[in-house]
Amino acid sequence: MPIAFCIEARDPGSHARAGTVTTEHGSFPTPAFMPVGTAATVKGVWPGQLVEMGYALVLSNTYHLYLRPGHERVRRLGGLHRFMGWDRSLLTDSGGYQVFSLSALRKVTDEAVSFRSHIDGSLHVLSPELAVFIQEALGSDIRMVLDECVEYPAGRPEVEDAVRRTTAWARRSLAAARREEGGMFGIVQGGMFPDLRKRSVEEVCALDFPGYAVGGVSVGEGKELQREVVALAAPLLPADRPRYLMGVGTPEDIFFAVSRGVDMFDCVLPTRNARNGTLFTSSGPVVIKQARYAEDPLPPDEECGCPTCRSFSRAYLRHLYMQKEILSSMLMTVHNLHHYARLMEGIREAILVGNFKEFMKESLGSRDT
């Protein structure tokens, strides 16, 4: 079954839309946020807890799974869904972003990117075809083409090269695909050059993918430039396909991107911040290690109904964090992911009832970030 996307409502005052994406592993409502399950686990939570929070889609990282435990091993064990005990939809990235950000000694040619593992220094070559084969072995529902992600700042010739390669690699990815199930999303690049963004959109979208991602953001360009790119690129992507903004972001970033027509997001912020002791709350961030919380009997967020807020105080979370207890990461991850799930629900609901702009204003106005 290919990937289906149905739009249920459009916000009259912006590009925001509410819809449903359907894969072999069920449907998920959009706008959607994906928790990041780097090494076949969303750190600190049971898969069942994700379902309880309302998540029906998670992301896992091709780069990490390719290196360990290896995609062929995962395939022999019945695929990534079975391996990690997750029976809802699963999106895998292409590995490109990690190759460009984590690995050492990478070298890009038109053919492929070679790199050394950040773990053991071993040499690897990732081609668009291999990225497809790895993801097909993992059996993810949504697979991403390998693109060339350029760090900010980058000169025009470099970005132009990346756009050209990204298109060529997208074409090769489609040609390499062997699985009928699921589908592959194209990715547009173009750095911070409006005309190159447009060119990338035109070239990649001509290939007719069932969904498209805006890549090459969250690469050091800063909030303002990121928003310019999103504002430019997202509305250019085909209106009848899901649009995915990779690696973004804060609640503020998500609101902005939704207003420009983005449907899907992933980001390590809620999970990573949880492990670092920072909670997202309805009144802004709570940095739990602060001494002011040592005897604070309140839940992390008085407006939150998550399992953590229902049972535990800031004082207890601070104690767990200071003691480096496993439960610290567990409780705070559930809270932050619950916060994000409710955020996305609220956004979707607001679009459906036609008051997205008011909801955004209200939500962002009450933060002190």
Binding residue (CB under 8 A) for its own copies from 14, 41, 101, 363: 41
What is each CA distance from 259 to 22, 126, 191, 365, in whole angstroms?
A: 22, 35, 21, 16
Give the length of the chain. 369
Assess whether 161 carries a catalytic annotation. no
E strand spans, 202-354 = 212-214, 243-245, 264-266, 278-279, 286-287
Binding residue (CB under 8 A) for its own copies from 144, 306, 330, 360: 330
Task: Pick the piece of the chain touching its own copies (CB under 8 A) from 7-15, 73-81, 88-96, 165-173.
Answer: 73-81
The backbone region for 191, taken as left when phi is positive above 0, alpha when psi lies in -120 to 50, beta otherwise, is left
Q: Take residue 203 and report the two structure tokens written for it.
A: 């070239």
Q: Does residue 322 belong to the site contacting its own copies (CB under 8 A)? A: yes
* Mask for 170-209, x = binds its own copies (CB under 8 A): ----------------------------------------
**Minimum separation from the CB atom of position 40 to its own copies (A):** 7
CA nearest neighbour of 92 among 69, 63, 59, 67: 59
Q: How far apart are CA 313 and CA 297, in angstroms?
A: 5
Assess whether 253 carries a catalytic annotation. no
**Minimum separation from the CB atom of position 222 to its own copies (A):** 32
Cis peptide before 31 (omega within 30 of 0): yes
Catalytic residue among 141, 253, 266, 301: 266
Q: Does residue 51 belong to the site contacting its own copies (CB under 8 A)? A: no
Task: Pick the piece of the chain touching its own copies (CB under 8 A) from 1-9, 81-89, 92-100, 189-197.
Answer: 81-89
Q: Take residue 159 and report the two structure tokens written for it.
A: 């970005």
What is each CA distance from 186 to 181, 204, 324, in whole angstroms?
A: 16, 7, 41
Q: Does residue 102 belong to the site contacting its own copies (CB under 8 A)? A: no
Q: Does residue 68 belong to the site contacting its own copies (CB under 8 A)? A: yes
Binding residue (CB under 8 A) for its own copies from 26, 46, 208, 361: 46
Catalytic residue among 93, 147, 253, 263: 93
Task: Pick the piece of the chain touching its own copies (CB under 8 A) from 124-132, 146-154, 205-213, 306-314.
Answer: 306-314
Other CB atoms closer than 10 Å to residue 99's CB: what's the count?
A: 26
| The residue type at 366 | S
Cβ neighbours of residue 16 under 8 Å, at least 6 residues apart? 10, 31, 258, 259, 261, 347, 351, 356
Maximum CA pair distance of the chain? Answer: 60
Binding residue (CB under 8 A) for its own copies from 34, 40, 219, 233: 40
Q: Take residue 193 and report the two structure tokens written for it.
A: 């050059």
For the CA atoms of the chain, what is the radius of gyration?
A: 20
Q: Does residue 325 belong to the site contacting its own copies (CB under 8 A)? A: yes
**Minimum separation from the CB atom of position 339 to its own copies (A):** 18
**Minimum separation from the CB atom of position 345 to its own copies (A):** 23
Which residues contact its own copies (rule: CB under 8 A)? 39-41, 43-48, 68-69, 73, 76-78, 83-85, 294-295, 297, 307, 311-313, 315-316, 319-320, 322-323, 325-327, 329-331
Residues annotated catalytic, as ranges: 93, 266
